[in-house]
Chain A
Amino acid sequence: MQNDDILSLAADWHAAGRQVALATVVSTWGSSPRPAGSHLLIDRDGKMMGSVSGGCIEGAVVREAQEVIDTGEHRLLDYGVTNEQAWDVGLACGGKVQVYVEKLS
C-alpha cells in the first residue's frame, strides 16, 4: 500500500469518531527497514495500519501511542539494537530509528 494512504486513513478514522495517533519515522541510522517519513496509524483500542519498522517495534509504539492519545502530549521515541538478555524492544537488524508520535486532535 502506498505510504501516503495512511494520512487519508487517519482523517477517515478521526471522522468516524475514533481517537487516533500518528507515528512517523523521523530519523534512521544503519540498516533500519523503513525510511524517514514512514507512518503508523494507531487508535485508542490499539488497532494499527502502516509501519515504522519491519514489525520489530510496532508493538511498543502502539502502547506509547495509546498514552499519547490519553495525555494529548507528543513523544519522541528512540529505538536501537535489540538486547535479547534485557528483553528490551529494538531492531534485530542492528539499525536505529527515531519515531515521533502525535495525537490527531
Chain B
Amino acid sequence: MKVETLERLNRARQAGHPSLLITDIKNGDQSIVIGKQWSGSIPESIILNDNAARILREDRARTVESDGRQFFIQPFNPPLRLIVVGAVHISQALVPMAALAGYAVTVIDPRRGFANDERFPNVTLLDAWPDEGLSELAPDARTAVVTLTHDPKLDDPALDVALRSDAFYIAALGSKRTHAARLERLATLGHDQAALDRIHGPAGLALGAVSPAEIAVSVLAQMTQVLRRRDNTA
C-alpha cells in the first residue's frame, strides 16, 4: 500500500467519513472510495454504487470477482457510539470497557459533582439535560443508549428521546419493580408496547453481577449480543 493511500484513508476515518478500501489481491492495485469520490487505479465499474452502500451498511469486508480479477473490499464506518446517561460509579467502569470494545463514548450528566474530568478522564462529557443532550447527539442505528442515573427526572427524558430514535440498543438500570413503574410513566408519554419492549430493563445480562465493574460487563455483553445477533439475521 502506498503511504499516501493509507494517509488519505486515515484522514477520512478520523473525520468520520464512511470509506472503502479496494485491493486487487493479484496485482496489488488499490483504490479508496470516500463518499462517492473514487481515487486510485481500480476502475469504478468493478463495484456498483448500491453495492458500495450495501457493504458499508453491512459493515463486513468481502472478496468480489469482476472481469476475472479478484477484489478485496473493506468498509470503514465511523465507530459505534455509546451514550451513557449518568456519570455514576457503574459508568466509570462501563466507559473504558466500551472504549476497548471500539465504541466512541459520550457521558451525559448535568450534575457537575458527577460529571467531571477527574472521575471521567479521556471521555466526552456533556453537562446537558439528558433529553437535550441526547437530541443533540442524534442516536442512529449504530448507537447504544444506556441510562444509569436511577433518577426518573434524568432517565425518563433520555429514554423518551432514545425511543424516538433508531438506537440499536436501549437499556435502563433499575430493579424489575423500578422498571415496571418506568414503563408506566413512558406509556403516558405516548410510547406503545412495541416501543417499550425495546428497552432492556433491568439493564444487562442476568449474570448475578454485584460490583459496578461486573454490572458494566453484563451491560456490555448484552449490547454485544444485540448488535451481533442483529447482524447475523440481517
Contact = CB atoms under 8 A, between A and B. Distances in A.
A104 B6 contact: yes
B2 A105 contact: yes
B62 interface: yes
- Of listed B1, B14, B100, residue having the most chain A CB within 10 A: B1
Given A2-B102, A76-B25, A100-B25, A35 B6 contact: no
Interface of A: 1-4, 7-8, 10-11, 14, 22, 24, 26-27, 35-37, 74, 76, 100, 102-105
- Of listed A4, A22, A104, residue having the most chain B CB within 10 A: A4
- Of listed B74, B79, B100, residue having the most chain A CB within 10 A: B74
Contacts of B75: 37
A14 B25 CA distance: 22
Contacts of A36: 60-63, 72, 74
23 contacts: A2-B102, A4-B13, A7-B6, A7-B9, A7-B10, A7-B13, A10-B6, A11-B10, A14-B3, A14-B6, A24-B72, A26-B25, A26-B61, A26-B72, A35-B61, A36-B61, A36-B63, A36-B72, A37-B74, A74-B28, A102-B23, A104-B2, A104-B3
Name the 9 nearest CB pairs between A and B, nearest first. A37-B61, A2-B102, A36-B61, A26-B72, A74-B28, A37-B74, A102-B1, A100-B25, A27-B63
B76 A4 contact: yes
A102 B10 contact: no
Interface string B66-84: 0000001011100100000
Contacts of B118: none
Contacts of A100: 23, 25, 72
B125 to A, nearest CB: 21
B7 interface: yes
Interface in B1-56: 1-3, 6-7, 9-10, 13-14, 23, 25-26, 28
Interface in B79-122: 79, 100, 102
Given A26-B25, A27-B63, A100-B23, A2 B79 contact: yes
B25 A104 contact: no
A77 to B, nearest CB: 11
Contacts of B9: 7
Nearest to A76: B25
Interface string B157-173: 00000000000000000
Contact of A24 (B3, B7, B26, B74): B74
A36 B9 CA distance: 18
B52 to A, nearest CB: 15
Contacts of A27: 63
Given A2-B102, A7-B6, 10 more contacts: A7-B9, A11-B6, A11-B10, A24-B74, A35-B60, A36-B60, A37-B74, A37-B75, A102-B23, A104-B2
B17 to A, nearest CB: 13
Contacts of B61: 26, 35-37
